[in-house]
Amino acid sequence: MTNSRIPGFYNLTLEERRAKLAEASNRTPEDLLPWTTGGISAESADHMIENVVGLHSLPLGIGLNFMVNGRDVLIPFAVEEPSVVAGASFMAKLARAGGGFTATTTEPLMIGQMQLINVVNMNEARLKIYEHKAELLAIADAIDPVLKKFGGGARDLEVRTIEESAIGPFLVLHLIYDVRDAMGANAVNTACEKLAPQIEAITGGKVHLRILSNLADRRIARVRCTIPVSELTVGFESFKGETVRDGIIAAYAFAASDPYRAATHNKGIMNGVDSVVIATGNDWRAIEAGAHAYAARNGKYTSLSTWGKDKDGNLVGTLEMPMAVGIVGGATKVHPAAQAAVKLMGIKTANELAEIIVSVGLAQNMAALRALATEGIQRGHMSLHARQVAIAAGASGELIEKVAAQMVAEKVVRSDRAEEILKAMESGK
C-alpha cells in the first residue's frame, strides 16, 4: 500500500527523495530508475519520430498527499513550471481532511468521424445507414481482436446532418468505439477507414475525412472534493476560512462568466492535467483540444470546474472534462519513464489514470484560486522563479537558494541582480 504523505520531502536531497519514494510506494529503486536516466535513449527516440538528433528532458516531480477514491497515490508530474507540484500537493493535503478526491469515469468511448459528401438525398442516405447499422458495427467491431478480447469494440453508429457549410449540406457519421485501456486513436481511425467503402456503397455518396474526434465527450472523467472551511486557513493564518472560501467562489464566478478569465482559469487546471498526461506518455495535445472544445460546448467558452459551498459551509469543488488517456499503447508502452509512472501510481486501467488526472486538475485549480483570492500569485511564484533566475545567472549548489532568497527579500527578481549577488557571494563580500 502506498503512503502519499512524505513529510519534509521538499527538504531532502535528490538521493534521499528517491529512497523515500521507493519506500513510500513499495517499489524498488530499479522501478524508479528511468527517471534518473531520463527514460529513453536517442536510439529508441529515433524509432518514435522523424529527423531525430537527440532528446529533450523535463523535470519530474512527485505530487504528494493525494487520496483518490480512498486510495493513497503518489503522482508523477513532468513539468517545467515552478509552483505546480507544490501547489497541487498542498491542496491535496487540505482535500484529505474532507475525504480526498472522489472521481468517476464513463465507459472509455471514443468517437470516430466520417464526413459523407456528394449525397443526392440526405434523408434517404441517413436512413439507409441506420438500416445497415448492425452489419457496419460488426465490420468495425472485428478490426481489433485484442481490444475485443478485453471487452472493447464498436458500440454505436450515429448520423448527424450539417445543414450549412462552405460546401453546402453533408452528413457526418459518428462511430462510437469502446477502446478500453487504449487512447484509441489507432483503433478508431482504422475502423473508420475500413467502414468507408461500405458506407459509400450503401449511400452512393463519398466518404471524405475519416478520423477520430478529440472532443471526446463520451469519455468523461469527473471529480469532486470537499475542503472543510477550517482547513482553508492553513498557511494563511491571517485570513478567515470563510473569507478564503468566498474568495475562491467569487474567482470561480469570474471564470464561469468571462471567457478571458476562463481561458486562464482552465490553463491552471491544465497545468496539473498535462503534467501527469506527459509523465505517462499520453498525447497532451489531444487532451488540451478536448478540454477547450468541451469548455465551449454550450456555445460560450467557460470554466471546466465549479466551486461552491455545502450545507455546512465547506468549500466544494468539481471538475468534469474529456479524458482520452491510455496505458497500453503508444509512448506509454515504449517509454520506460511512462511505464515507471504507471507503476508508481499502481493503476490497472486507463479509467483509473483518468480519475487521478482530474483530481490533480482540480487540486491545481484550487491552488491557483486560493492564491489569487488572497495574497496574489506572485509571492509563492516568485521564490521558485527566483531559483530559476539564480541558476540562469550561473549559481550552483548552495548558492542557488542563497541568491534566490536575497532577490526575494529585496523584491527584485532579475538576471542582472542575480549576477551581482552571485558575484558578491563568490568573492565573499
Quick check: 267 binds ligand MEV (CB under 6 A)? yes
List 72, 141, 231, 283, catalytic entry: 283
- Cell numbers found for residue 268: 491552471
Residue 60 binds ligand MEV (CB under 6 A): no
Residue 346 burial class via C-beta count within 10 angstroms: exposed 0-12, middle 13-18, buried 19 and up: middle
Query: Considering the complex, what minimum distance in angstroms separates the CB of residue 368 from ligand MEV?
Result: 4
Piece of 170-178, 267-275, 327-335, 391-399 that binds ligand MEV (CB under 6 A): 267-275
CB of 118 to ligand MEV, least distance (A): 47
Rounded to a whole number of angstroms, the minimum distance from the CB of residue 251 to ligand MEV is: 7
Which of positions 216-245 make contact with ligand MEV (CB under 6 A)? none
**To the nearest whole angstrom, how small is the minimum distance from the Cβ of residue 61 to ligand MEV?**
15
Give the whole-angstrom CA distance, residue 229 versus residue 307: 13
- Dist CA 69 CA 15 (whole Å): 31
Contacts of 6 (CB under 8 A, 6+ apart): 20, 21, 24, 64
Tell me how far, at minimum, the Cβ of 267 lies from ligand MEV, in Å. 5
388 belongs to the binding site for ligand MEV (CB under 6 A): no
Beta strands in 228-373 (DSSP E): 305-309, 315-322
- E-strand ranges in 59-108 read 60-68, 71-78, 101-105
Task: Take residue 317 and report the three cell numbers written for it.
Answer: 469543488
162 binds ligand MEV (CB under 6 A): no
- Report the largest interatomic distance among the alpha carbons of the chain, rounded to a whole angstrom: 86
CA distance 413 to 354: 38
For residues 73 and 355, give the distance between their C-alpha atoms in angstroms, rounded to a whole number: 11
Binding range to ligand MEV, per CB under 6 A, among 152-160, 221-229, 282-290, 366-374: 366-374
- As beta bridge partners, residue 317 has 225, 307
CA dihedral 282, 286, 287, 290 (to 10 degrees): -160
- Of 89, 271, 280, 303, which lies in the binding site for ligand MEV, with binding defined by CB under 6 A? 271
Which distant-in-sequence residues (6+ apart) come within 8 Å of 256 by Cβ? 262, 302, 303, 306
* 267 assigned to active site: yes
The SS3 call for residue 298 is: coil
Interaction between residue 268 and ligand MEV (CB under 6 A): yes
User: Candidates 40-48, 264-272, 311-319, 342-350 — which segment interacts with ligand MEV by CB under 6 A?
Assistant: 264-272
CB of 156 to ligand MEV, least distance (A): 37
Close Cβ partners of 124 (under 8 Å, ≥ 6 residues apart): none
Task: From the candidates 242, 381, 401, 420, give the one annotated as an active-site residue.
Answer: 381
Is residue 265 near ligand MEV by the rule CB under 6 A?
yes
**Pick from 377, 405, 412, 425: which binds ligand MEV (CB under 6 A)?**
377
Of the candidates 267, 309, 333, 402, the residue annotated as catalytic is 267
Which residue is it, cell 483530481?
359
The residue within the footprint of ligand MEV, chosen from 37, 57, 123, 264 (CB under 6 A), is 264
The residue from 125, 227, 368, 418 that contacts ligand MEV (CB under 6 A) is 368
When asked if residue 378 is in the footprint of ligand MEV (CB under 6 A), the reply is no
Is 56 catalytic? The answer is: no
How far is Cα 187 from Cα 140, in angstroms, rounded to an integer? 9
Residues in contact with ligand MEV, counted by CB under 6 A, come to a total of 10
Residue in the shown chain whose Cβ atom is closest to ligand MEV: 268
Task: Tell me which stretch binds ligand MEV (CB under 6 A): 126-134, 263-271, 283-291, 314-322.
Answer: 263-271
Q: Which residues are catalytic?
A: 81, 267, 283, 381
Binding site for ligand MEV (CB under 6 A): 81, 264-265, 267-268, 271, 368-369, 372, 377
